[in-house]
């Protein structure tokens, strides 16, 4: 059994603030250790379920948060950027399941460190008219590749978002949002034990990969009208209004194209996330 782990950071046990998850933040070094422990809990669960290969993609920010020597010996780590498939880089139909560790809710929700990919620069996103963030887009793209998402960990808002997208996916809430930068935390040992147990249990359940649409529409509203204006230069991108663009196509192609949109946006703006 081959398991793919996409590891974000905002939904990791104990982390609530930008200083916990951004390089240079006063608690970032502790945050990256906490991230490794949640990933290791997922890896232990996967091993106990019979996984023969565990690939972990460091999917947060600079994608160099996880230190190889801190990880479970069974883990193969994908580290660094750029990555053509970003948070799902390296995922192929050869894998049996995806596990999303440390995920967060989409922009506009009152979840811990909630946003959609780019802090405040992305105000809203829709996939076929349905509000979507990192959770829904990862789920839909994995389905298009042919791999089901088995489990997600994060705060309670992230878990609710995943349940709304696909109630068959198991979830583990490691903290409970009180606001965007405040939460009630589960004790670390308790949270990691829950992650390990849930991963082990979820991977022995036979899952059917959700059917991906033959064609999809991805719509993004940016904070900056300049981003939407420049994106018009990409073939297939249409402008809905001064700040909103749309493209139609198939996943995972749309996911790859969205990565290009973000690189364009990053070149035009200089706004740190969470401000």
CA end-to-end span of the chain: 41
Residue numbers annotated as active site:
115
Cα separation, 168 vs 151, whole angstroms: 9
- Helices 156-165, 134-145: axis angle to 10 degrees equals 40
Please return the burial class of 122, using the count of CB atoms within 10 Å of its CB with bins 0-12, 13-18 and 19+.
buried
Q: How many CB atoms lie within 10 A of CB 46?
A: 30
Cα separation, 132 vs 261, whole angstroms: 16
120 in Cβ contact with 136 (< 8 Å):
no
Which of helix, strand or coil describes residue 178? strand
Cα separation, 174 vs 154, whole angstroms: 6
Which of helix, strand or coil describes residue 28? helix
Cα separation, 258 vs 36, whole angstroms: 28
Give the rounded distance of the alpha carbon of 24 from its chain centre.
22
46 in Cβ contact with 221 (< 8 Å):
no
Q: Tell me, what DSSP letter sits at residue 116?
A: S
Residue with tokens 């990969």: 209
């Amino acid at each position: 059994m081959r398991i793919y782990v996409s590891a974000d950071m905002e939904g990791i046990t104990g982390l609530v603030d930008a200083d916990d998850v951004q390089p240079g933040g006063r608690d970032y070094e502790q945050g990256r250790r906490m991230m490794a422990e949640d990933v290791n809990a997922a890896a232990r669960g996967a091993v106990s379920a019979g996984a023969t290969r565990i690939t972990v993609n460091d999917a947060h920010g600079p994608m160099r948060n996880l230190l190889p020597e801190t990880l479970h010996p069974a883990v193969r780590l994908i580290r660094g950027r750029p990555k053509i498939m970003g948070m799902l880089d390296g995922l192929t139909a050869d894998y049996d399941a995806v596990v999303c560790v440390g995920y967060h809710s989409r922009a506009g929700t009152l979840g811990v460190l909630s946003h959609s990919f780019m802090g405040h620069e992305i105000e809203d996103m829709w996939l076929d008219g349905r509000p979507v963030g990192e959770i829904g887009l990862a789920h839909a793209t994995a389905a298009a590749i042919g791999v089901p998402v088995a489990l997600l960990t994060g705060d309670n808002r992230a878990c609710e978002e995943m349940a709304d997208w696909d109630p068959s996916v198991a979830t583990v809430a490691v903290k409970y949002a009180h606001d965007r930068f405040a939460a009630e935390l589960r004790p670390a040992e308790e949270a990691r034990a829950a992650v390990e147990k849930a991963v082990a249990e979820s991977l022995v359940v036979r899952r059917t990969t959700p059917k991906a649409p033959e064609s999809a529409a991805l719509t993004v509203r940016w904070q900056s009208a300049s981003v939407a204006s420049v994106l018009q230069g990409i073939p297939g991108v249409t402008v809905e209004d001064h700040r909103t663009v749309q493209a139609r196509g198939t996943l995972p192609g749309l996911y790859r194209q969205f990565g290009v949109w973000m690189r364009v946006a990053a070149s035009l703006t200089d706004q740190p996330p969470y401000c």
